[in-house]
Amino acid sequence: MATITNFLSKPPSSLATFPKINNSLCFPHSFIPFVTKPKALTKKLETNRTYFITKAAAVSGTAKKVESDERVQKVHSIEEFDEALRMAKNKLVVVEYAASHSYHSKKIYPFMVDLSRTCNDVDFLLVMGDESEKTRELCEREKIEQVPHFSFYKSMEKIHEEEGIGPDVLMGDVLYYGDNHSGVVQLHSREDVEKLIADHKADHKLIVLDVGLKHCGPCVKVYPTVVKLSKQMVDTVVFARMNGDENDSCMAFLKDMNVVEVPTFLFIRDGDICGRYVGSGKGELIGEILRYQGVRVT
């Protein structure tokens, strides 16, 4: 769990304050001295880049379609990178920084390709840091020293970053920062919460409100479970989410609800808060939901 005391007094001022996620299944990362690579290697690394893309596609079983249906955009310069972020506007942009000789870059890439085909409202970019001097300059500007490295952007602002992660964490990050289409209702103010409660007073459905922060590791970890439960319990439970540090209204709501650690799940029925669960345990969360639905859990 993460304590939100510091967020209540002062929002994070830079990406350096955001907690990183630790995952036992993470891929190790490689140290890549992008800036110090000699120019003489550029042509050879260009060839390796092609091998990387073909090899990664082969792992996912779609080598023949890689050129026709792949939605991952290859970026070769700072100008192309900035233009891609501008064109994305307020959509989530996921960038993988990789290297031609990195085994773990090759290993994670097919999973990003798969995500790109299922998440149509998210843009995916690939930067091969050792491809050329231009990509090295881009990595230097973005302060990328180790690969695989993933950065997440919205409205041209970096909102999150990870190093050496595995497929499960990557999927969780994409869901958490780019979810616009699941059954989880996205709330952005106290008024949104009040409207949601009013809408479900008549049907007596249990509302499960997931309260978190934008850059909270446990919040990201548990969110895929929230999405899955929202599909499985659609007839009886309404799932919603609010990030307390999104704006002043959300933060005021957290303070009024006495939320001091995240993630916190508020259980609401008939307009009243009937309980809460603090933590990111999948089993515990499911047990609490069933309990507030009147199901005996032994």
216 is catalytic: yes
Give the separation between CA 164 and CA 141, rounded to whole angstroms. 20
Let me know if 66 is exposed, middle or buried by CB neighbors in 10 A (0-12, 13-18, 19+): middle
Active-site position among 26, 119, 139, 219: 219
Q: Please state, in angstroms and rounded to a whole number, the distance separating the CA atoms of residues 37 and 191.
A: 54
Q: How far apart are CA 252 and CA 259, in angstroms?
A: 10
Q: How far is CA 46 from each of CA 25, 57, 74, rounded to the nearest angstrom?
A: 30, 17, 13
Given 119, 139, 216, 250, the catalytic residue: 216
The CA distance from 164 to 35, in Å, is 20
Tokens of 3: 């304590």
Residue closest to 212 by CA, chosen among 178, 245, 165, 238 = 245
Query: Residue 116 to residues 92, 102, 122, 152, 202: CA-CA distances in angstroms?
Result: 12, 21, 7, 14, 39
139 is annotated as an active-site residue? no
Contacts of 220 (CB under 8 A, 6+ apart): 21, 169, 172, 173, 176
Please, which residues have CB within 8 angstroms of residue 265's CB and are 6 or more apart in sequence?
A: 208, 209, 210, 211, 276, 277, 278, 285, 288
In the numeric block, the tokens 């998440």 are attached to 119
Distance, in Å, from the CA atom of 163 to the CA atom of 96, rounded to the nearest integer, reads 10
Q: Which residues are catalytic?
A: 216, 219
